[in-house]
Chain A
Amino acid sequence: MRRYLEIYGIMLRNSLIREMNFKANFLLWIAVELCWFGGQMVFIEVLFRHVEAIGDWTKWQMVLLLGTHQLIGQIFQAFFFVNVANIPELVRTGKLDFMLMLPVDSQFAVSTRQFGLDNVVNGLVSVGIVTLSLFKLNLHPDSSQLLLFFGTLGFGVAVHYSVMFFLATISFWVVRAQGLFAGYFNTFSLGRYPDVVFKGIFRVIFTWIVPIILVANVPARLLMGSFSQPIVYPLFQLAVGAALVLAGSRIFWKFALARYTSARS
């Protein structure tokens, strides 16, 4: 375990040095995120011009949900996105072979090369939005709520990671997995909506099988204290769901590796 931490520390340092060399780019990526965030806020504004609440969610509660959703996304992107998105390229060029020869677990190696510093800044913006919403809602979560909140963020990141990793693994069979980015973003676009809007089999699939609906909704509801059932139930749902998709992505990865014949052989 300590060896992994050491290796990760080195990768992290290299990443940071790299990114500070491209300062302009770094600032521009933050601008990109702010534009997207801004657009989402406009969307919420427009929605709530026409309606008082969506289910049991009011405007600032939805902003809180958006902030939470973005925060989880940014944490995931900071640690894992660039690396997992690069897997198809590794497969295509045969560079994956080098990763497989490393004396560390292959999934760890492909997932943790680079760290996104700009995502940290964007993450801080999200924290700001969440704080602002709490202020507007006159909510003062206690330390146990905050602790649980950060714990559920972790589960949320695990779900993001598992879905993206699963999609990346498909690139073993599909020559160009360009649709990978689109697939990930499209899937998680569902996560920013209040859980109440989803019904029927759709709700079942995205709560129990790929728990995207839970990812941001559970932490947000935790902060607002707005669960209509004992907290332990949705927490358990999220934790188990996250564990299952994570396990699923690993099994699929092992399966893909077993059938992998290098592009270079």
Chain B
Amino acid sequence: MLPPKYAKTFAIGLQNTFVYRWNILFRSLFALLPLAGTVFVWRTIFAEGSGEIGAYDYASMIWYFMLVLVVDNLVTPTEDEWQIAADIREGQISAFMVKPLNYLAYRVSLFLSYRLVYTMITLIPLVLVFSWFHEFVALPKHLLTWPVFFLSVGMAAAIAFLIAYSVALTAFWLLEISTLVFIIYSFEYFLSGHTFPIDIMPPWFQKILMFLPFPYEMFFPVQIFMEKVQGRALWTGLGIQAAWVLILWAASQVLWRRGIRKYQAVGG
């Protein structure tokens, strides 16, 4: 099913990333600090107010952030944009011109291997968090929620990856992509539901946001799992999510073709 060359890429990706397992564990433990801060802030806010913020109470708010933690590991690229930019800058792309390997497929294989290793290693702090906050765990009532959730997570990962990939491809034109990467990060950080659930924002703002790709990277799959989006809204959402995967894929193809042309023109 999967061409053996990409399976091999996946395996190499697994091996290479596994070497840095302590680094990854170290990072994921540190990532618990902002989570703690978030929990403290929301605990105070809920204690001050009516005990309800939008459609959330303290329990569902904490559960929301626990789910964000899980989806974040499954979906967010960590090294990919930097490696792609390095490939371009250091000329490794030339090797792909002669090999029968599609660069996008290659990078997708690596991305998947990285996500697998990260998820496995961050299982440790995740288990810690889930056991500490076990009273807030609220599994879905309907069985169908699970496959729909995983479908949405898959598309979320595709969106997150394709954004990273497209931004990294600007390395064909820009000397340094880090500023662009961090600008996009900041949009993703606040508008993907990472910092707070999108549905506590003013309704008019939410309407606009739901047409952008960002909420579909994290917020939408979490909403599905929490069974907060049902029926027509669910299918519309999945449709928009799928549309964004296609749009971003198309954009990345355009960037690649233009970029390669420039690369080869310069004698790459």
Please tell me if the beta carbons of B176 and A177 are within 8 angstroms of each other in the complex: no
Check: A233 CB closer than 8 A to any chain B CB: no
Please tell me if the beta carbons of A177 and B23 are within 8 angstroms of each other in the complex: yes
Please tell me if the beta carbons of A50 and B53 are within 8 angstroms of each other in the complex: yes
Give the CA-CA distance A49 to B48 in the complex, in Å.
13
**Stretch of A99-107, A142-150, A188-196, A214-222 contacting B (4+ beta carbons < 8 Å):** A188-196
Which residue of B31, B43, B180 is within 8 Å of A186 (Cβ)?
A: B31
Please tell me if the beta carbons of A46 and B201 are within 8 angstroms of each other in the complex: yes
Q: A42-61, CB under 8 A of B: which get 1 and which 0?
A: 11001101111111000000
Q: Which residues of B contact A35 (CB under 8 A)?
A: 182-183, 186-187
CB distance from A166 to the nearest CB of B (A): 13
Please tell me if the beta carbons of B196 and A176 are within 8 angstroms of each other in the complex: no
Please tell me if the beta carbons of A187 and B30 are within 8 angstroms of each other in the complex: yes
CB distance from A23 to the nearest CB of B (A): 12
Q: Which residues of A contact B49 (CB under 8 A)?
A: 50-51
Please tell me if the beta carbons of A174 and B23 are within 8 angstroms of each other in the complex: yes
Which residue of B27, B40, B183, B189 is within 8 Å of A179 (Cβ)?
A: B27
Check: B231 CB closer than 8 A to any chain A CB: no
Q: B29-63, CB under 8 A of A: which get 1 and which 0?
A: 01101101100110111001100011000000000
Q: Which residues of A contact B40 (CB under 8 A)?
A: 193, 197-199, 202
Please tell me if the beta carbons of B36 and A196 are within 8 angstroms of each other in the complex: no
Give the CA-CA distance A43 to B183 in the complex, in Å.
17
Residue of B nearest to A29 (CB): B179
Check: A14 CB closer than 8 A to any chain B CB: no
Q: Which residues of A contact B22 (CB under 8 A)?
A: 174
Q: Which residues of A contact B195 (CB under 8 A)?
A: 39, 43
Check: B211 CB closer than 8 A to any chain A CB: no
Q: A32-B183, A190-B37, A193-B37 are in contact. Are A46 and B196 (CB under 8 A)?
A: yes
Check: A183 CB closer than 8 A to any chain B CB: yes
Please tell me if the beta carbons of A28 and B190 are within 8 angstroms of each other in the complex: no
Check: B26 CB closer than 8 A to any chain A CB: yes
Q: Which residues of A contact B235 (CB under 8 A)?
A: none
Give the CA-CA distance A175 to B22 in the complex, in Å.
10
Please tell me if the beta carbons of A32 and B186 are within 8 angstroms of each other in the complex: yes
Check: B12 CB closer than 8 A to any chain A CB: no
Q: Which residues of B contact A32 (CB under 8 A)?
A: 179, 182-183, 186
Chain A residues packing against B (C-beta within 8 Å): 25, 28-29, 31-32, 35-36, 38-39, 42-43, 46-47, 49-55, 174-179, 182-183, 186-187, 189-190, 193, 196-199, 202
A50-B49, A175-B23, A193-B40 provided; 7 other pairs, C-beta below 8 A? A29-B179, A35-B182, A54-B41, A174-B23, A182-B27, A183-B26, A197-B43
10 contacts between A and B (CB under 8 A): A29-B179, A31-B179, A35-B187, A39-B189, A51-B48, A51-B49, A179-B26, A179-B27, A186-B33, A193-B40
Closest 3 pairs (CB-CB, A-B): A28-B179, A179-B27, A39-B190
